[in-house]
Amino acid sequence: MEKRIYLSSPHMGGEELKYINEAFDTNWVAPLGPNVNSFEKSICEYTGIKAATALVSGTSAIHLALKCLGVEKGDIVFCSTLTFSATANPIIYQGAEPVFIDSEYKSWNMSPIALQKAFDDAKKNNKMPKAVIVVNLYGQCADYDKLKAICNKYNVAIIEDAAESLGATYKGVQSGTIGDIGIYSFNGNKIITTSGGGIMVSNNEEYTKKALFWATQSREDKRHYEHKELGFNYRMSNIVAGIGRGQIKVLDKRIKKKKEIYQAYKEAFKDIEDIKMMNICDFGETNYWLSVATINENSKIKPIDIMLALEKENIESRPVWKPMHIQPFFKEYKFFSSLEKESISENLFNRGICLPSDTKMDKEDIKKIIDIVTQMF
């Protein structure tokens, strides 16, 4: 069996074990502790955000962000449709109703045209959203100037789902810091990992303080256990945060390697008309988390053909996210398309493929992948 080449697997930087050992040596193995505090501080320093609360997942961070914005049963939340289900699930946790917004071809992210359609419909029905969740897909920021202009017009807050885009920028501003509340994920496949985990960030410290309160079971400041609100067991552990402290030190190195992988694919496929790499927008710098391509819909070769060819050589690849509005669980909810007769997100899903983007790949691994793909065309 050939060695396994992964889509995007954990890549340790060398210092993670030092911080984990510190936790064991000082017996700070339970939730809270110096690693948690230091990791939050590191994220703030890297991104320039004022405050952060480290949590068990990006999903829990979105959940608490929705609570911070007062989303509750019966409310409406607009949400990018081209994303992983973890973006939309917390809307349901809160008893609210998601409304899904289509993508644009330029960035693959939320379409300002579709967002305006959704607001027009909400205004007509006198049911405005409590929040808008904008996803930064595959490491690239959405076009926030356009999206924020629309949201500001209706005084609706943005939750920036930067789960995939830590280290990316929009017009010089770090992803995750552009909306009212931002979230990052440190799942095992992300650009840096804590094995599992996430963080909620904001320049409004009242949000992060409230998130911390809810994440630690909403325990009141009493000698005894006093609870006036529903709480959650969402706080990141000190051991997990130790991994994060080591990982944040190699983030820039990981971004550099991810970019090299993307550029290698782009150069290799430049003369194949049927393959087009995901566009990199000139309004910012992506972190190149995954190198994603689309295949011409008239091509004899389909994305599944490439996936199966790579799979035969023990190489992992994956389809583009299946849009939420065509997921069986979410299909009953409203969806607003960018175009009259076409869903851009569905088109990207049907034609897209996520190519191996693992930062542990060497030049031979990348050449092998390129050779398999180019020979098919």
Domain limits, CATH 3.40.640.10, in the chain: 16-102+109-248
Contacts of residue 323, defined as CB under 8 A and 6 or more positions apart, other chains included, come to 81, 82, 100, 343, 345, 346, 349
Nearest C-alpha neighbor of 290 from the set 352, 372, 375 = 352
Tell me: pLDDT of 2 over 80. Answer: no
Per-residue pLDDT tens for 4-61? 999 999 999 999 999 999 999 999 987 789 999 999 999 999 999 999 999 999 999 9
Per-residue pLDDT tens for 106-154? 999 999 999 999 999 999 999 999 999 999 999 999 999 999 999 999 9
pLDDT at position 301: 98
CA end-to-end span of the chain = 26
What are the b/e assignments for 265-284, b being 16+ CB within 10 Å? bbebbeebebbebbebbebb
Nearest C-alpha neighbor of 12 from the set 241, 194, 235 = 194
The DSSP secondary structure of 133-149, one letter per residue, reads EEE-GGG----HHHHHH
Strands 97-101, 76-80: pairing is parallel
The second-level CATH assignment, the architecture, of 251-376 is Alpha-Beta Complex (3.90)
Domain limits, CATH 3.90.1150.10, in the chain: 251-376
Tell me: pLDDT of 1 over 70. Answer: no
The position carrying tokens 């998130």 is 211
Per-residue pLDDT tens for 251-264? 999 999 999 999 99
Please tell me whether the overall predicted TM-score, pTM, comes out greater than 0.95 for this model: yes
Percent of the chain that is helix, strand, coil (3-state, to 5): 40, 20, 45
Distance from C-alpha of 340 to C-alpha of 336, rounded to nearest angstrom? 10
CATH class for domain 16-102+109-248? alpha beta
Tell me: pLDDT of 199 over 80. Answer: yes
pLDDT at position 298: 96
Give the whole-number percent of the chain exceeding pLDDT 70.
100
Per-residue pLDDT tens for 312-335? 999 999 999 999 999 999 999 999
